[in-house]
Chains A and B, each alone.
Chain A
Amino acid sequence: MIEFKKVSKVYGDGTTALKDITLSVKKGEFLFLVGPSGSGKSTFIKLIIREIYATSGSILVAGRNICNLKTNRIPQLRRNIGCVFQDFKLLPNKTIFENVAFALEVIGKSGYVIKVQVPQVLQLVGLHNKMKSYPYQLSGGEQQRVSIARAFVNRPPVLLADEPTGNLDPVTSDGIMKLLSRISLVGTTVIMATHNRSVVNSMRRRVVELERGEIVRDQKRGVYGS
């Protein structure tokens, strides 16, 4: 589903964030990206949604090289990749329903599709009874579930999560992880960057460890530390 071939990223100020990364992620795979701050996890994720360019190498998403993608094709790429962040990025002046619906609205889906799909996905994350609430009325874990619902409402084949449990307590994190693994079970490729040791250890999924921009470990059913 996602293939990195000898990808390097050097930022404008000269820091090398990623060095010669070659990695392949299969469809439906669940992959943890671990490593200390500054090891290149976020850069990895930003490269996949073409927020930044690779300095060299090529990145294939669903067989398509996204490095030479024209600017006006980027929206199409992003519609196939759901994104979840540590800070949720919910719109405070919109209700839960509207927040999720917004993702469909801006890609031009009809009102009918929105009315059907949004309650469905909110049911999936267990928040269908809070559709009319505003983000500030929800707990952190609930807010993160809304943001997952928003990322997944369009049924993208790939879901990227950058520290989704970074702001949450262990029990809540557990709930989020269960949700993500359910999403991966239906065939979605999930890539999750995290510092969270217990989350990684409890899941026993593929673990890729980065250090100073290089892959130092790639284990099929790994744990956080080696």
Chain B
Amino acid sequence: MIRPKYFFGETFSGLKRNFLMCFTAITTVAITLFIVGLFSIVVYDIQSVMSSIERQVELAVYLEDNISEELKEYIGNEIKSWDETGEVKYISKEKAMEKFKEQMEGSSILKEIQGNPLPASFEIRLTDSKKVDQVALRFLDRDGNYIKGVDEVVYGKSYVSKLFSITAVIGTITFLIIIVLVLSTIVLIFNTIRLSIHARRKEVEVMKLVGATNWFVRTPFLFEGFFEGFAGSVISVVALYFMSNFLIIKGERAIVDTMHIKELAVLGSSNAIIYIYAAILVAGGLIGILSSGFALKRYLKV
């Protein structure tokens, strides 16, 4: 009873018959899934960049020059006792100067510096970067001035919170765009299959008349829908592959270079993109089969 030759023959004659419509459906699936994939990659990427930035959020607590050893020790111990503290490093004035000289090597500014104007500091790495504000507040007294011995507390407050809100917005917009695009793809494949049924309505009529089973009538149309969905998703994956190789990874390098972030989770080195590709291929096939199944249900009534 299983006749693959028949079904494939029928599928491809259906594809040939409404070539233009089929072409449109494939193109739409390709564009839709390309955009979906692109957004997924970008969102994933931003999120991994974000989490590596989060892991690197630091507080620098600059100490007054005339701070006493006891106070310095007290502040250091106090910081260590907090739950939010991951790692604390003490940078003495001398160490700070060394680092500064390293960074500014060859610059004329070094000759103009007399003595050591740089303060000693505690560099605090947090376990949860979202609590950075809370921790910073502990260095202030009731009037909003820094506590005794502390000159200034510095951390990347503004850009961290901005990044959090930007990713949230991008995520929401992406989600909405994806829904709209997926719906329009479904409508297009639905219409293609409907046209295909229309073009073959005589055959379908005869099939029903001589007692073809419902699945026999349906299968070529389901194949056709699957083919359209799958072909579209293959095209989009190929496009995404080139896109991510040439654009995104380059962009990431640029971000890495400008922001001096060393431990960045670079997309190219992650296999998450493989999962995204696989998901796109599965989604393409599923969209194709589901929308043609839906079209058949309404228009074939076998």
Contact = CB atoms under 8 A, between A and B. Distances in A.
A78 B210 CA distance: 6
Contacts of A83: 209-210
Given A78-B208, A105-B6, A108-B3, A72 B203 contact: no
Contact of B210 (A72, A74, A106): A106
B203 A91 contact: yes
Interface in B179-209: 202-203, 205-209
Contacts, number: 51
B203 A89 contact: no
A49 B206 CA distance: 13
A150 B206 CA distance: 10
Q: Which 10 A-B pairs have the closest CB atoms?
A: A78-B211, A79-B211, A106-B212, A103-B210, A75-B211, A108-B1, A75-B213, A106-B207, A83-B209, A107-B211
Contacts of A78: 208-211
Contacts of A134: none
For the complex, would chain B's binding face be called helix, strand, loop or mixed by DSSP majority?
Answer: helix
A74 B210 CA distance: 10
Interface in A20-39: none
Contacts of B203: 91, 102
Contact of B209 (A72, A80, A89, A92): A89
Interface of A: 49, 71-72, 74-80, 83, 89, 91-92, 102-103, 105-108, 150-151, 154
A89 B206 contact: yes
A75 B205 contact: no
A75 B212 contact: yes
Contacts of B3: 105, 108
B205 A89 contact: yes
B212 A72 contact: no
Nearest to A105: B6
A149 to B, nearest CB: 12
Contacts of B23: none
B216 interface: yes
Q: Looking at A49, A106, A151, which has the most chain B CB atoms within 10 Å of its CB?
A: A106
B202 A89 contact: yes
A107 B206 contact: no
B142 to A, nearest CB: 80
A75 B6 contact: no
A17 to B, nearest CB: 20
B211 A77 contact: yes
Contact of B212 (A49, A77, A89, A107): A107
Contacts of B145: none
A74 B6 CA distance: 22
Contacts of A72: 213-214
A174 B203 CA distance: 29
Given A83-B210, A107-B211, 7 more contacts: A75-B214, A80-B211, A89-B205, A102-B203, A106-B212, A106-B216, A107-B210
A91 B206 contact: yes
B127 to A, nearest CB: 62
Contacts of A74: 211
B54 to A, nearest CB: 58
A18 to B, nearest CB: 21
B34 to A, nearest CB: 37
Contacts of A105: 3, 6
